[in-house]
Copies of this chain bind each other. A is one copy, B any other.
Amino acid sequence: MKYNNLGNSGILVSELSFGSWVTFGNTTDSTLAFDLMKKAYEGGINMFDNAEGYTAGSSETVMGDAVQQGIEEGVWERSDLVLTTKIFFGIKAGPNARGCSRKHIVEGTQAALKRMKLDYFDLVFCHRPDPRTPIEETVRAMNHIIDKGWAFYWGTSEWDATQITKACEVADRLGLIRPVMDQVQYNMFHRDKVERDYQPLYNDYGYGLTIWSPLASGILTGKYSGNNVPEGSRLAQEEYKWLKDSKFVKQADQITRTDNLKPIAEEIGCSLAQLAIAWCVANPKVSTTILGATSVKQLDQNLAALDYVEKLTPDVMTRIEEIIKSKPAVDEIYVQTTGLRSGPNY
């Protein structure tokens, strides 16, 4: 396991990390939660990701219990862990119960600390952009969180490049701490933000990435091969019906393209899931790839994906591109305007 700087910050995160999304407080009980986290930690993972919005706070409660158990059992100390939460979705209805206002950020973070029985998080993310709150208010509120000692670093999640640019520049103008990372969806079928939109963020701010859904909600595991949703998989659950109905999942050719990756996976000796995870890890802009897991065995298999990163040679990567056909087009206007053309028109 390698440890990467989280963007332009001094904290080091393991290249794979462990997330509670979908599972904790839901299908995963406390015993399993601890077993999974212990397994992850022993495998070299130091970052454990959470959000107030996961199962309405239960996920944090479960993870908080597991963290305490690990401390009590001498598995880890608090300082060994990089613990995160993400504020935005709240845990109930109400006009100020969600969003990136100063009110919700402060109240939400305090409530999350209580649920997780912590004095502080390592990272707190603004889980979504909030078009109803001025970005300056959010920048100030996140700095307040840090000043209070409730977090060491702050970041964004699924903000667009313009919003992140604004947040960084506002912070610079006010002499405040910039956000240092986004938590963004990234996988073989979802690449535009990371590979196209965020380009200026890497150059200008050294922005870091903690990426989620490396398996594209399971599609890249190959389990939907032939378009049949297996009994018990996430897409079969009523609660995730929206995922199944979404345009995203419906694009059946993603499943076909996944099937077409099989020869490459076989060639380098890994599963499709391992190939998909290794492919994310191989992107040097990705600080950490967040894994979910519902069993220790599954986690073990996913951790083993690291063994295959070095097998993604330029040649293999080119063949993958030809199969997944998802490389974002570079904005034409750039091609037109940055080269030296013979005529002056556009």
Contacts and interface: CB of A to CB of B under 8 A. Distances in A.
Interface of A: 3, 5, 8-12, 14, 46, 52-56, 78-80, 82, 88-91, 93-104, 106-107, 111, 122, 127-134, 137-138, 140, 144, 146-149, 152-153, 158, 160-163, 165-166, 169-170, 172-175, 177, 197, 200, 204, 239, 331, 333-334, 336-338, 340, 342-346
Given A94-B80, A162-B165, A152 B344 contact: no
B140 A177 contact: yes
B162 A96 contact: no
A95 B53 contact: no
A128 B344 contact: no
21 contacts: A9-B133, A10-B104, A10-B130, A11-B103, A56-B344, A79-B97, A91-B344, A93-B342, A98-B340, A98-B344, A102-B153, A103-B122, A103-B152, A106-B152, A130-B337, A131-B338, A162-B162, A162-B197, A165-B165, A173-B175, A174-B175
A122 B106 CA distance: 11
A121 to B, nearest CB: 11
A104 B12 CA distance: 11
A19 to B, nearest CB: 13
Contacts of A5: 132
A96 B46 contact: yes
A166 B204 contact: yes
Contacts of A343: 56, 239
Given A79-B96, A128-B346, A344-B56, A10 B170 contact: no
Contact of A134 (B8, B104, B334): B8
Nearest to A100: B10
A102 B52 contact: no
Given A95-B12, A101-B9, A169-B173, A132 B162 contact: no
A184 to B, nearest CB: 11
Contacts of A131: 334, 338
Nearest to A166: B165
A52 B10 CA distance: 19
Return the 4 tightest CB-CB contacts between A and B, nearest first: A10-B133, A10-B101, A169-B169, A53-B344
Given A162-B200, A344-B56, A149 B10 contact: no
Contacts of A52: 344
Contacts of A96: 11-12, 46, 79-80, 82
Nearest to A200: B162
B333 A158 contact: yes
Nearest to A76: B94
Contact of A137 (B9, B107, B111, B128): B9
A160 B330 CA distance: 13
Contact of A54 (B55, B137, B144, B344): B344
A204 B161 CA distance: 15
Contacts of A129: 333-334, 337
Contacts of A10: 99-104, 130, 132-134, 137-138
A134 B205 CA distance: 12
Nearest to A53: B344
Instruction: Tell me which of A127, A137, A144 has the highest count of chain B C-beta atoms within 10 A of its own C-beta.
Output: A137
Contacts of A172: 169, 173
